[in-house]
Structure 1
Amino acid sequence: MPTSTHTESDSSTAVFAAEWEQWHAAHERRRADPHGFLAVTHLHWLGAEPSRLEGVPGIWSVKDDAVTVVLEAGESLLRAGKELNSGAPNAEGGIAVVFDPIAEREGINLTAGPAVVELAKRGGEYIVRPRHPENPLLNEYRGTPAYAPDARFAVEGTYVQFEEPRPTTVGAAVEGIVHVYEAPGEIRFELDGQDLTLTAFNGHGPGTLSVLFTDATSGKTTYGANRSLTVGAPDADGRVILDFNRAVNLPCAYTDLATCPLPPSENRLEVAIEAGEQIPHERQAGQ
């Protein structure tokens, strides 16, 4: 007996939901990593004046794009498993370690006991963020609520590449810095009868794109500052799928110790995208 259209539709919906559940469970596991952003205990901005940083061994400073940490006797800091507090001490009895310049939005991870110490560059400034697996924000994390998966919000779009990548300056979740991204193109699509466009940045995977956006749900059911969506590489005709069910929160939705970029102004949509992750439980009490 032929399968009815209704049964096929139900089966397709079930598969769509099951694939989303698997994806979101994996995303939650990555977010709850013992040294992920939920484990960050401090955000330190480095300056020319040598300073001790809470939660981090050593005395830190930066000059001419080179970061120096001076480790005193008994202080331990490892890089790739190698102890940095070794060698000949200086006149004051400490050992100075100088790090090569770090590219914007890049960083290195050091180890101090059970903690990971992130040294990174954000908005042209150097930051140090210790990540401790016993941080209460991590240990008390209860998961992120999300809209039920809805295939209506998985829409086809067209990627239009710019003649030249466009430097795009956006704000940040913390005051005083900005981020500059190169936008290689834009994605055009239709939702709820509206023609919409999103400026796209380069993603982390080969050929992938990344979109930062807000919409009419932002600040109501979803986090107000931003959400992020990864888009697969366009096909030969520029076709892409924007599956807003997989729109996720950035770290700033959970902690004030993040430097997340904000969406460019043209990516602030007026349509309500009732899909993807919602306001984290940790933030709901204050909204």
Structure 2
Amino acid sequence: MTIATEQAQQETFEADWVAWHDRHETARAAEHGFLAVTGLHWLTEEPTRFDDAPGAWSTGSDGPVVELDDGESLLVDGVTVTGRHAFGPIAERGGIVAAFGDAVVEVAKRGGSDIIRPRHPDNPLRTHYRGTPAYAPDARWAVPARFVPFDRPREVTVDAAVEGLQHVYEAPGVVEFELDGVPQRLTVFNGSAPGSLFALFTDATSGVTTYAANRSLEIAAPGADGSVLLDFTRAVNLPCAYTEFAICPLPPSENRLAVAIEAGERIPAERSAR
């Protein structure tokens, strides 16, 4: 390969990365994205009011329930609700979004408990957000790898950014790869798109130039031969890197790499300021 060809490929790689990261930043700063979250409220059987959402909230056999006073309402699935409204049981990592004014409230289940997280577009964390620093994109961090499935998927329990909470994910296998000639592997979980995967990991940069607790890497569905590409330039921060109102999963112990992955998103200014 000529120097000119290598340079052209790097320029294309950089342009693709910039376009991807711009889309990612736009989604992160959306008016009802996680930067807009103003509170994390754990529901109990006792109806409780919170400053950042209408109604008194509780949970029980009907799932999350809100009791709205006169003059209060929520828009749920396009329908205005008043008085008492039961959302029904919510699946783990599932959720419903209800709107009020220019804000919304996320009604969800995390770690086996029902929660609400109001999201207000004028939250200072969102309005003051100026973007996340990242390492310059370098094609050498797009690493070929091989997906090795387990005989059968395994349930993997991981800790969370909130003390005392755990998450359970289904792991279909591991990805194996090399960095500077040294074999590495990551346990991977099922991704949101059919056949896709994702990995939670830390490395030698964690707590130094990148967020200490975790980063996440999306991985496209493996080829028929198990081949995958690990593009570490697209390793991103989870919400807990920005806000205390997140309950993000931490990596399994085997995904704490000793090598420095000098690629992807770095410590956000919001975390550095705290």
Q: TM-score range by the shorter chain?
A: over 0.9
1:52 maps to 49
Residues 65 and 211 of structure 1, relative CA distance in 2, 3 Å threshold: farther
Query: Which amino acid in the other structure matches residue 62 of structure 1?
Result: T
2:30 maps to 33
1:21 maps to 18
Runs of 4+ in 1 over 4 A off after TM superposition: none
2:74 counterpart of 1:73: no
2:267 counterpart of 1:270: no
Distance 1:51 1:23 in 2: 41
Contact 1:43-1:129 at 8 Å conserved across structures: yes
Distance 1:279 1:65 in 2: 41
RMSD: 1.0
Question: Shift of residue 63 of structure 1?
Answer: 1.1
2:93 counterpart of 1:105: yes
Count of residue pairs the alignment pairs up: 274
2:209 counterpart of 1:221: yes
Question: Shift of residue 152 of structure 1?
Answer: 1.2
Identify unmatched segments of 5+ residues in structure 2: none
Query: Which amino acid in the other structure matches residue 34 of structure 2?
Result: F
Query: Which amino acid in the other structure matches residue 194 of structure 1?
Result: V
Partner SS, residue 199 of structure 1: strand
Partner SS, residue 228 of structure 1: strand
Query: Which amino acid in the other structure matches residue 11 of structure 2?
Result: A
Contact 1:159-1:187 at 8 Å conserved across structures: yes
Which has the greater radius of gyration? Answer: 1
Deviations 1:182-227, CA, capped at 9 Å, x for gaps = 1011101101221111000000111110100000000000000000
Query: Which amino acid in the other structure matches residue 99 of structure 1?
Result: F
2:131 counterpart of 1:143: yes
Distance 1:150 1:284 in 2: 25
Contact 2:75-2:81 at 8 Å conserved across structures: yes
Partner SS, residue 236 of structure 1: coil
Query: Which amino acid in the other structure matches residue 16 of structure 1?
Result: F
Query: Which amino acid in the other structure matches residue 209 of structure 1?
Result: L
Identity percentage of aligned residues: 61
Deviations 1:111-135, CA, capped at 9 Å, x for gaps = 0111010000000001100000000
Partner SS, residue 116 of structure 1: strand
Structure 1 segment 1-12 matched on structure 2, within 5 A? 5-12=2-9
Partner SS, residue 72 of structure 1: coil
Identify unmatched segments of 5+ residues in structure 1: 86-94
Distance 1:159 1:65 in 2: 42
1:130 maps to 118
Question: Shift of residue 64 of structure 1?
Answer: 2.7
Question: Shift of residue 285 of structure 1?
Answer: 3.0
Distance 1:254 1:285 in 2: 10
1:196 maps to 184
2:150 maps to 162
1:178 maps to 166
Partner SS, residue 198 of structure 1: strand
Contact 2:45-2:58 at 8 Å conserved across structures: yes
Contact 1:42-1:54 at 8 Å conserved across structures: no
Question: Shift of residue 65 of structure 1?
Answer: 5.8
